[in-house]
Amino acid sequence: MNSNANPQVRGGCARRGGARVSSVSVDTTAPGAYTIGECARRSGFSMDTLRYYERLGLIDDVARTPTGQRRFSDEHLEWLGVLKCLRDTGMPVEQMCRFADLARSGDHTIGERIALLEDHRVAVDERMADLVAKRDYLLGKIDYYRSVLP
Amino acid sequence: MNSNANPQVRGGCARRGGARVSSVSVDTTAPGAYTIGECARRSGFSMDTLRYYERLGLIDDVARTPTGQRRFSDEHLEWLGVLKCLRDTGMPVEQMCRFADLARSGDHTIGERIALLEDHRVAVDERMADLVAKRDYLLGKIDYYRSVLP
DNA sequence: GTTTGCGTTGGAGTTCACTCCAGGTCCTAC
DNA sequence: GTAGGACCTGGAGTGAACTCCAACGCAAAC
């Protein structure tokens, strides 16, 4: 169901990667033009979450068909991969928004973006270290229980 | 609970560091008899969380002074250490309750407790593996940004 | 060409795990 | 004996991150 493998996805919405196809139907196989359902399937976010993120400004420039349906591009999927990484490593949405803002603001924010990601990496490392310690404790507990099994 | 194993907790709570004084005051150094505030300080949970956990049945048999104040014991602190480990490794409260129930129900539940902890350990391992992968992705992102720094 | 289903919106509701509050009692120190 | 702090209760409130809903339009498939 890579979506609309058909002659007219309904207008284009063309989006960026847009194929350099000739005539009518454009983004059939072209990179991009994923419906929200397809995008959800591919990104691992739910459709609701995608809409929610768009409202928050975490996702930008989502194209629309003439009838108002969203069409996500491969760039979006890539960006969603970044968001997923950040979210799944525990970054709060608010900080993701800051990052998205920076990403939107041009190359002069790259330094800030690095700083933000570095800070986050440090936090992740700490969480991982803590997790390792707690996991060991857990193993100890399990071993103990094994040792007293009837 | 061993708690009030004394003539009168009253003066007590005196906390441990306290000298191993002779006469009267008993549970000065005695294991146990921590006020909720002290217990919070030592366990890393907030007082509210301790009360909340007690309501849920996650903490059991908390002794009370004649006027109704809680007195936690060293056993409680140890148990709270377990809860902290479980919580901080992401176990939902409901599952902790199941574990607490098992722990309350006698030795014949040890097998089940092991199973529960093992399941949780597996979940923790998966989360850790995911975290490692995401952290690497993050590092890649940071490196990329470094490479394009103006 | 109609049914089935995917997509739209704004806003309300949910879940989780606390956290706070009011209005009170109690305790320690000065 | 009184001020200030610690603690009590039941219940309400919070914040984060979604998730669901109704009422609708458009799409895809037969």
Residues B36, B42, B46, B47: what is their CA dihedral angle, to the nearest 10 degrees? 0
Distance CA B50, CA B37 (A): 10
- In angstroms, the CA of B38 and the C1' of C27 are apart by 15
- At A7, the pLDDT band (50, 70, 90 cuts) reads very low
Of the CA atoms within 13 Å of residue B147, those in its CB half-sphere come to: 6
Helix (H, G, I), strand (E, B) or coil at A72: strand
Tell me what the mean pLDDT of segment A10-18 comes to.
28
Q: Is residue A22's pLDDT more than 60?
A: no
Question: Which of A127-136, B23-32, B75-84, B140-149 bottoms out in mean pLDDT, i.e. has the lowest?
Answer: B23-32
Residue A149 confidence (pLDDT): 87
Coil/strand/helix, residue B22: coil
B53 with B76: CB under 8 angstroms? no
Q: Is the dihedral of CA A12, A18, A24, A25 positive or negative?
A: negative
Task: List Cβ neighbours of A115 (8 Å cut-off, separation of 6 or more).
Answer: none
Among B102, B114, B147, the residue to mutate for chain A (most A Cβ within 10 A):
B114
Site from B84, B124, B126, B132 to mutate, A interface, most A CB atoms within 10 angstroms: B124
As a 3-state breakdown, chain A gives helix, strand, coil percent values, each rounded to 5, of 55, 5, 40
pLDDT-based confidence at residue A30 (cuts at 50, 70, 90): low
What is the per-residue pLDDT across A103-127, written as a single tens digit (0 to 9) for each?
Answer: 999 999 999 999 999 999 999 999 9
Mean pLDDT, chain B, rounded, equals 83
Give the distance, in angstroms, between residue A48 CA and nucleotide D19 C1'. 7
In this predicted structure, the answer to whether residue B20 has a pLDDT above a threshold of 70 is no
How high is the pLDDT of residue A4?
Answer: 31
Share of chain B above pLDDT 90, in %: 77
Task: Kindly identify which residue of chain A lies nearest to residue B124, measuring between CA atoms.
Answer: A135
The answer to whether A9 and A28 have CB atoms below 8 angstroms apart is yes
Which among B96, B85, B17, B8 has a CA at the least distance from the CA of B45? B85
Handedness of CA B91, B95, B98, B102 (dihedral sign): negative
Q: Which SS3 state, helix, strand or coil, does residue A128 take? A: helix
Structure confidence at residue B23 (pLDDT) = 25
| pLDDT at A37 (0 to 100) | 97
Element (H, E) at B80: helix B74-88
Rounded CA–C1' distance between B92 and C18, in angstroms: 13
How buried is residue B118: exposed, middle or buried, by Cβ count under 10 Å (0-12/13-18/19+)? middle
Is there contact between A46 and strand D, defined as CB under 7 Å from any strand atom?
yes
Whether the Cβ atoms of residue A13 and residue A71 lie closer than 8 Å to each other:
yes
Task: Supply the pLDDT for residue B8.
Answer: 26
Between B35 and A8, the more confident residue is B35
B74–chain A nearest CA distance, Å: 18
Strand C atom within 7 Å of B92 CB:
yes
Chain B positions touching chain A (beta carbons under 8 Å): 82, 85-86, 88-89, 107-108, 110-111, 113-114, 117-118, 120-121, 124-125, 127-128, 130-132, 134-135, 137-139, 141-142, 145-146, 148-150
The verdict on a CB contact (< 8 Å) between B114 and A88 is no
The strand pair at A63-64 and B70-71 is best described as: unpaired
- CA separation for the pair B139, B150 (Å, rounded): 19
Domains and CATH numbers, chain B: 1-75 (1.10.1660)
Which residues on A lie below 8 Å from B142 (Cβ)? 114, 117-118, 121
Contact state of A131 with B134 under an 8 Å Cβ cutoff: no
Q: Do residues A25 and A7 make contact, with C-beta atoms less than 8 angstroms apart?
A: yes
Burial class (CB in 10 A: 0-12, 13-18, 19+), B127: middle
Chain C positions within 7 A of any protein Cβ atom are 6-9, 16-21, 25-28
Answer whether any strand C atom is within 7 A of the Cβ of A36: yes
Strand D nucleotides with an atom less than 7 Å from a protein beta carbon: 6-9, 16-21, 25-29
